[in-house]
C-alpha cells in the first residue's frame, strides 16, 4: 500500500503539480500508440523491412498490455513513486534505443522495451490519483486525463506525419524524432514526480507471485499474437493462429487456477466478486474496442476515401478530441458537485452507439461537417464513460487493492483495444476483397476497357498499399473507393452493437455514495491498521 493514516490531505495546487508529472508520463504512452503509424512508411523504406512492419506496432502493444496488471500489484507492495519512475526510465531507454535503431530487428526489440515502460505509465497514473484524491473530488480532475487522450489521438498522427515528411531535422533522420521527442518530456515527468510525488508507504509483509506473473504474461502474449498478428496476416483458420490462440486460452485457464491458490496473487480473483469491479472491467473492454475502432477507422476513411494527407487527417480529428475533452470536464465537475456517476457511462455508451451507427451513412462525397458531428458524438461518449468508470471502480474497492484493481481496469481496456482493432481490421479486409471483386465484375460487364492492366496482382496490391489507388483510371478508382465505403459500413455496423452491449452493462452499475475526504481518511486509517497489525 502506498499511503497511510498520517498522510496529509493534498491541496488543489499540490494535486495540480503532481497531475502535471502524471499527465506528461501518460501523454508519452498514449502518444506512442498513434504517432508511429503515420511514420511507418518512412521507417520501412529506410530499413527495407516491409515484411516485419506490423511488429513495430505489435511489440509495443504486447508488452504494454501484458505488463499493466503487474505494475498495479508491484506498486501496492513497493510503493507508487519508485515503480512509476521505473516505468518512466524504462520508457525513455526504449525511446532512445528505438531512435538509434539501425535495422528492423533492433527497432522491434526497442519498441518492446518502450511498451514495458508504457504499461506502467498508463496504469499507475490512475492508481496514484486514486491515492491522493477522494472519489467525490476526483471528478473535477478527470477532464485533464480526457484531454490527454484527446490530444494524443490528434497529435499522434500530426507529429508522425510532420517528422516523417522531413528527410532530416537538425541533422537527424526525420522519423527518428518520433522517439527522440519523448526524451525531454520524460525527463520533465521524472523531475516533477521526484520533487512532488511523496506518498508515504505502508510496510507490508509481501511476496511476488512469480509463477502467476509468468503465466499471465505468457497467456496475454500468445493470445494477442494470435488475434493481432497471425490472424490478420495469415487468416483465422491458419495453423499458427489456431495454435497460439489455443495455447493462450490454456495458459489463461492455468493462470486462473493458480491465482485461486496463490498467497499473494498478481490478480486477486476475489475482486471479481465485487459487482462494480466486474462490470467496470467489462465496460473497459468494450470502451477500449470502441475507442480504437473509431480512432483507427476514421483516419483511414479520411485518408483513403476522402484523399486527405496523414497530417490533414490528424487535424480533422480535432472534433473527436473536443468531444472527449468537453464531456470529461463537464461530467467531472457534475460528479464532484452532485456525487452521482452512474448516469454518465449510460449516456456515454448510448451516445457512442448512436455516433458509430450514424457513420454507416458515410459516402465518398460526405461533407466534412457531417463527419465532424459523428466524431463529436463518439468523442463525447468516450469522455462521459472512460474516466467515470475508474471513479466508480476506485470508490468500490478497499484501499489495499487500489493499485491492482485500477491497473486491472486499464489492462481490460488495453485488451479491448487490441481485440477491437484486430476484429474491425479483419472485417474491413474481408469485406474489401468481397466488394472489390463484385465491383470489378460489374465494371467488366459495363465498361471492360476500364480494367485494362488491372489484374489480380494489382488488386492485391491495392489492398496492401492504398497509395496505388491514385494511379488507377477514374472508373477503377471509383469502384475501389465504393468498395472501401461499403466495407467501412460493415465495420461500423459491427462496432455499434458491441458498444451497445456496454450501454446494457452500464445500466446494471450500482451507484454507491462517493467517499469524501473524511471517508477517505477513515479508509486510510483502516488500511494502515491492517498493515501494521
- pLDDT tens digits, residue range 2-57? 444 344 566 778 788 888 888 888 888 878 777 776 676 677 667 765 556 667 77
Residue found by looking up cell 466508480 in the block? 392
Q: What is the per-residue DSSP string for 484-527? A: HHHHHHHHHHHHHHHHHHHHHHHHT----PPP-HHHHHHHHHHH
Burial of 483 (0-12, 13-18, 19+ CB in 10 A): buried
pTM, two decimal places:
0.78
Of residues 530 and 143, the one with the higher pLDDT is 143
Taking Cα atoms as reference points, which of 159, 164, 212 lies closest to residue 181? Answer: 159
Q: Which tens digits make up the pLDDT trace of 334-366?
A: 888 888 889 999 999 999 999 999 999 999 899
| pLDDT, position 531 | 42
Q: Which tens digits make up the pLDDT trace of 375-396?
A: 999 989 988 988 888 888 888 8
Of residues 327 and 1, the one with the higher pLDDT is 327
DSSP assignment letter at 11: P
Q: Where do the structural domains in the chain lie, given as residue ranges?
A: 12-208+264-435+485-532, 436-484
| pLDDT, position 528 | 46
CATH topology of domain 12-208+264-435+485-532: Growth Hormone; Chain: A; (1.20.1250)
- Over residues 466-483, the mean pLDDT reads 80
> Using CA atoms, how far apart are residues 313 and 73, in angstroms rounded to an integer?
39
Task: Check pLDDT > 80 for residue 118.
Answer: yes
Residue 216 CB contacts under 8 Å (≥ 6 apart), including other chains: 66, 69, 70, 255, 266, 267
> Using CA atoms, how far apart are residues 507 and 279, in angstroms rounded to an integer?
10
Residue found by looking up cell 489463461 in the block? 252
Total Cβ atoms within 10 A of residue 239: 10
The H or E element that residue 173 is part of is: strand 172-173
Residue found by looking up cell 495546487 in the block? 13
Q: Which tens digits make up the pLDDT trace of 268-283?
A: 888 888 999 999 999 9
Q: Is 67 helix (H, G, I), strand (E, B) or coil?
A: helix
Task: Check pLDDT > 70 for residue 212.
Answer: yes
| pLDDT, position 351 | 94
- 471: confidence class by pLDDT, cuts 50, 70, 90: confident
Task: Check pLDDT > 70 for residue 524.
Answer: no
Lowest pLDDT segment from 68-82, 378-392, 478-492: 68-82
CA angle 166, 167, 171 (to 5 degrees): 105
Dihedral of the alpha carbons of 461, 462, 465, 467, in degrees to the nearest 10: 130
Cα 439 to Cα 366, 403, 451, distances in angstroms: 20, 53, 11
| pLDDT, position 507 | 94
Asked if residue 102 lies in contact with residue 189, where contact means CB atoms within 8 angstroms, the answer is no
State the cell numbers at 278.
466486474
For the chain, give the mean pLDDT.
80
* Size (the chain), residues: 533
Of residues 275 and 403, the one with the higher pLDDT is 275
State the cell numbers at 328.
470529461
Lowest pLDDT segment from 180-184, 209-213, 226-230: 226-230
| pLDDT, position 335 | 86
Q: Which tens digits make up the pLDDT trace of 440-465?
A: 888 888 877 777 666 666 666 666 66
The percent of residues in the chain predicted with pLDDT above 90, rounded, is 17
State the cell numbers at 413.
481496456
Task: Check pLDDT > 80 for residue 489.
Answer: yes
Asked if residue 36 lies in contact with residue 178, where contact means CB atoms within 8 angstroms, the answer is yes
Q: Which tens digits make up the pLDDT trace of 138-181?
A: 777 766 777 787 777 777 777 877 887 777 788 788 788 888 88
Handedness of CA 124, 351, 61, 250 (dihedral sign): positive
| pLDDT, position 6 | 42
Asked if residue 532 lies in contact with residue 309, where contact means CB atoms within 8 angstroms, the answer is no
Strand partners, 169: 172
Lowest pLDDT segment from 18-32, 154-168, 226-240, 510-524: 510-524
DSSP assignment letter at 363: -
DSSP assignment letter at 227: I
The percent of residues in the chain predicted with pLDDT above 70, rounded, is 85
Asked if residue 322 lies in contact with residue 143, where contact means CB atoms within 8 angstroms, the answer is no
Task: Check pLDDT > 80 for residue 515.
Answer: no
- Over residues 224-241, the mean pLDDT reads 78
Amino acid at each position: 500500500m502506498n499511503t497511510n493514516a498520517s498522510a496529509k490531505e493534498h491541496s488543489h495546487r499540490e494535486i495540480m503539480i503532481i497531475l502535471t508529472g502524471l499527465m506528461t508520463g501518460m501523454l508519452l504512452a498514449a502518444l506512442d500508440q498513434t504517432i508511429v503509424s503515420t511514420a511507418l512508411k518512412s521507417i520501412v523504406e529506410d530499413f527495407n523491412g516491409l515484411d516485419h512492419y506490423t511488429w513495430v506496432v505489435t511489440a509495443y502493444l504486447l508488452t504494454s498490455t501484458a505488463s499493466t496488471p503487474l505494475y498495479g500489484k508491484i506498486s501496492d507492495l513497493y510503493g507508487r513513486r519508485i515503480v512509476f519512475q521505473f516505468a518512466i526510465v524504462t520508457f525513455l531507454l526504449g525511446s532512445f534505443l528505438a531512435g538509434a535503431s539501425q535495422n528492423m530487428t533492433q527497432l522491434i526489440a526497442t519498441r518492446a522495451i518502450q511498451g514495458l515502460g508504457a504499461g506502467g505509465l498508463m496504469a499507475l497514473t490512475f492508481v496514484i490519483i486514486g491515492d491522493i484524491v477522494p472519489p467525490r473530488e476526483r471528478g473535477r480532475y478527470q477532464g485533464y486525463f480526457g484531454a490527454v487522450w484527446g490530444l494524443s489521438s490528434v497529435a499522434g498522427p500530426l507529429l508522425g506525419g510532420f517528422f516523417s515528411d522531413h528527410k532530416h531535422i537538425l541533422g537527424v533522420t526525420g522519423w527518428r524524432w518520433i522517439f527522440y521527442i519523448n526524451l525531454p518530456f520524460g525527463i520533465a515527468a521524472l523531475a516533477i514526480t521526484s520533487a512532488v510525488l511523496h506518498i508515504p508507504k505502508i510496510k507490508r509483509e509481501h511476496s511476488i507471485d512469480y509463477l502467476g506473473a509468468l503465466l499471465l504474461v505468457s497467456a496475454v502474449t500468445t493470445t494477442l499474437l494470435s488475434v493481432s498478428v497471425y490472424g490478420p496476416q495469415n487468416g483465422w483458420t491458419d495453423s499458427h493462429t489456431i495454435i497460439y490462440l489455443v495455447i493462450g486460452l490454456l495458459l489463461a485457464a492455468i493462470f486462473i487456477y493458480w491465482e485461486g491458490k496463490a498467497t499473494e496473487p498478481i490478480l486477486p480473483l476475489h475482486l471479481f466478486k465485487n459487482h462494480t469491479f466486474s462490470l467496470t472491467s467489462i465496460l473497459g473492454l468494450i470502451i477500449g474496442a470502441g475507442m480504437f475502432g473509431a480512432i483507427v477507422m476514421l483516419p483511414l476513411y479520411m485518408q483513403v476515401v476522402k484523399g486527405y494527407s496523414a497530417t490533414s487527417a490528424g487535424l480533422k480529428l480535432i472534433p473527436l478530441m473536443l468531444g472527449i475533452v468537453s464531456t470529461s470536464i463537464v461530467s467531472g465537475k457534475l460528479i464532484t458537485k452532485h456525487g452521482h456517476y452512474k448516469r454518465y457511462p449510460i449516456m456515454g455508451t448510448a451516445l457512442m452507439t448512436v455516433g458509430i451507427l450514424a457513420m454507416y451513412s458515410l459516402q465518398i462525397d460526405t461533407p466534412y461537417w457531417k463527419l465532424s458531428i459523428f466524431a463529436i458524438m463518439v468523442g463525447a461518449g468516450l469522455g462521459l464513460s472512460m474516466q467515470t468508470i475508474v471513479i466508480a471502480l476506485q470508490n468500490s474497492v478497499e484501499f489495499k487493492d487500489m493499485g491492482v484493481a485500477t491497473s486491472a481496469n486499464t489492462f481490460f481496456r488495453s485488451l479491448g483495444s487490441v481485440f477491437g482493432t484486430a476484429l474491425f481490421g479483419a472485417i474491413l479486409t474481408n469485406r474489401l476483397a468481397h466488394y472489390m471483386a463484385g465491383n470489378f465484375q460489374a465494371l467488366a460487364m459495363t465498361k471492360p476497357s476500364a480494367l485494362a492492366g488491372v489484374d489480380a496482382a494489382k488488386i492485391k496490391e491495392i489492398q496492401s498499399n492504398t497509395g496505388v489507388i491514385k494511379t488507377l483510371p477514374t472508373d477503377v478508382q471509383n469502384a475501389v473507393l465504393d468498395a472501401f465505403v461499403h466495407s467501412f459500413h460493415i465495420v461500423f455496423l459491427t462496432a455499434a452493437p458491441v458498444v451497445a452491449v456496454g450501454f446494457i452493462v452500464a445500466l446494471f452499475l450500482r451507484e454507491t455514495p462517493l467517499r469524501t475526504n473524511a471517508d477517505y481518511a477513515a479508509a486510510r486509517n483502516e488500511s494502515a491498521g491492517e498493515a501494521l497489525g
